Amino acid sequence: MIHSRNRRLRVNESIRSLVRENVLTTDDFVMPIFVMEGENMQEPIPSMPGIFRRSIDLTVKECKELFSLGVKSVNLYMKVSEHLKDNTGKEAWNQNGLMQNTIKAIKDAVPGMVVMPDVALDPYSIYGHDGIIENGKILNDATNDALARMSVSHAEAGADLVAPSDMMDGRVQVIREALEESGFTDVGIVSYAAKYASSFYGPFRSALDSAPKDDMEIPKDKKTYQMDYHNSREAMNEVFKDIEEGADVIMIKPGLPYLDIVSKVREAIDLPIAVYNVSGEYAMVKAAVQNGWLDNDKTIIESLTCFKRAGADMIFTYFAKEAAMILNK
C-alpha cells in the first residue's frame, strides 16, 4: 500500500496554489526601453516583434502605461546618432544628451517609476565596443573613468540606480566613488557582474546599432571583457568582487541558458539578484509563437517564473508589459 502520494497536493488549482513555492508578480519586472531622437517617432524592431524604438515623448507615454499596469521599473538604452559617436564616449555624459533628457522626462511625468539607465559606451562608440580603444585594445581604466562620468550625469538627471553593463574590471568601485564624491549616496548600482559573451544578444545590437564594427584593427567581438560561456566558477569571482566594490544588485546575463549561474549565485549571496531575459530569448519565443509552435501567454509566464524559481529577485525582460497584461487578467 502506498502511504506517501505527492499527487495529493496537485488535485486541483486551489491546492496547487496553496503549496506553490514561487509566484510571479508585476513587481518583479524591469522593462528595457529603446529611445531615439525626434518627436512623435516610433520604429519597430523587426527581430523583436512588439518592441519599438521611441522618441522621448512616446517613451514617456509608454512609461505611464507600464506604471498603470504595475510595471514600476525601466531600463533605458539610447539609439545614438552617428555624428555623435567617437572613441571617447563623451556624448554619454552630455548634460543635455538623449539619455539625460529621457531620464528627466520620465521622472517628471512618472515620479514613482524606478529609472535604471544603462551604463556602457558601445552605443556611443564609433567601434561598437563597450570601451575606449587604443592600439587595437580595449582600455580598462580609461573606460572606467568615462563610465564614472556617465553614471554621475545619470544621477544628476534623476536616475534611481545606474546599471553598468560593460564588464570592465574595477568599474563598480570607480563608479561608486564618483557617485559618493558627487553627493549621490542614495543612487544604487545594478552591476552586470556575470555578463557572458553570448550569441543571444543579436536582436538587441541591431536595435541600437551597437555591434562591434568589422575592422581588422580592433577586436571583432567582446570576448576580451565579457565572460566565456564555458565557465561558472569565474562568475562567482566576478560577483564577489563587485559586491566588495559596492554593488547593490547583482545582474546575471543572459537568462534562460544561464539559470545554473542564477541558482549558484543565489546560494552564495544575500544581495538582490537581477537576471536579464535577453533579446535573443525574446525573439525565439516570438518566432515560435508566430509559427504556431508555442502558446504565447503560457510560454511567457512559465519562462519568467523559471527565473524566480532559480532565485532571481528582479527580471529584466522585454515581456514585462505583455506579462503584466496576462497577470492582470
Q: Which residues are catalytic?
A: 195, 253
- The answer to whether 189 and 196 have CB atoms below 8 angstroms apart is no
Amino acid at 263: S
Residues with Cβ within 8 Å of 172's Cβ and at least 6 positions away in sequence, in order, are 164, 189, 191, 241, 242, 245, 246, 247
Helix, strand, or coil (residue 134): strand
Q: DSSP alpha helices (H): ranges in 222-328? A: 233-245, 259-268, 279-290, 296-310, 320-328
Residue with cell 515560435: 288
Quick one: angle between helices 296-310 and 259-268, nearest 10? Answer: 30
List binding-site positions for Mg(2+). Answer: 238
Interatomic CA distance for residues 253 and 316, integer angstroms: 10
Radius of gyration over alpha carbons of the chain, in Å? 20
Interatomic CA distance for residues 129 and 139, integer angstroms: 11
Interatomic CA distance for residues 58 and 99, integer angstroms: 14
Interatomic CA distance for residues 62 and 41, integer angstroms: 12
Q: Give the bridge partners for 44, in sequence order.
A: 52
Of 253, 254, 223, nearest in space to 130 by CA: 223
Distance of CA 154 to the CA centre of its chain: 16
